[in-house]
């Protein structure tokens, strides 16, 4: 009831739970911007992101873009977070659906190679390129890339350790060394493919990873085979 006994209208009651249309529009616009920024950054780097460029390309107002992020650095950090979300969706999530063991480790590698080969980001692996851009710098964006790289390496190591603990890899397997070699093969295939615009390097990476896993497997016949 209002003062004087006036009753609130149904629309006023509904407004207490109805989503704010402005918030929904803001979220859609933010997602539209981030979908573009991850593509730009994967090819040109995070420093190529500017409010003016995004406003022009997406036909938005500069003030509207700025209001959603507040600063170039926050735009860069939001772009890294969006790339991580897409990466998780395309690589990490599907691999986790495979039972623990060499099969999951192999699936993780295949998904990563397909993520790069299929150009989920037009510049290849988003993180490979941006890490090279910020590796010698300092600040929040550098720290975000360090965290992303460490998290990826830790995931590969953990997946390999689970395969060892399940008995599918030899007990004496040097897990950090195995993970290092696997990641090196994948990243090299990404770099060469982007540089030379060809795909045969992905098969070379698959052959190398499969051979390394067969060497470490307790039963080589059950390890991955590349036709």
Q: Where are the domains of the chain?
A: 14-222
8 Å CB contact between 141 and 46: yes
pLDDT score at 23: 74
pLDDT score at 1: 43
pTM: 0.86
Mean pLDDT by 10 residues, the chain (227 residues): 51 53 82 96 96 94 92 96 97 97 97 97 95 94 96 98 97 98 98 96 97 96 83
The class that CATH gives domain 14-222 is mainly alpha
pLDDT score at 225: 86
DSSP β-bridge partners for residue 217: 169
């Amino acid at each position: 009831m209002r003062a004087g006994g006036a009753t609130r209208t149904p629309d006023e009651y509904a407004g207490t739970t109805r989503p704010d249309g402005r918030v929904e529009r803001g979220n859609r616009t933010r997602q539209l911007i981030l979908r573009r920024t991850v593509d730009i950054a994967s090819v040109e780097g995070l420093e190529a992101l500017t409010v003016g460029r995004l406003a022009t390309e997406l036909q938005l107002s500069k003030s509207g873009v700025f209001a959603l992020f507040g600063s170039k650095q926050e735009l860069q950090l939001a772009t890294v977070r969006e790339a991580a979300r897409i990466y998780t969706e395309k690589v990490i999530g599907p691999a986790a659906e495979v039972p623990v063991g060499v099969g999951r480790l192999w699936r993780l590698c295949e998904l990563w190679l397909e993520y790069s080969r299929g150009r989920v980001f037009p510049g290849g692996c988003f993180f490979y390129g941006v890490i090279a851009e910020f590796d010698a710098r300092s600040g929040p964006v550098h720290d975000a890339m360090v965290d992303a790289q460490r998290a990826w390496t830790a995931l590969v190591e953990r997946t390999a350790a689970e395969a060892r603990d399940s008995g599918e890899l030899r007990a004496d397997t040097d897990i950090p060394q195995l993970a290092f070699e696997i990641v090196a093969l994948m990243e090299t295939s990404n770099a060469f493919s982007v540089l030379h615009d060809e795909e045969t390097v992905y098969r070379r990476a698959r052959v190398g990873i499969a051979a390394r896993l067969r060497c470490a497997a307790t039963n080589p016949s059950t390890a991955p085979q590349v036709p």
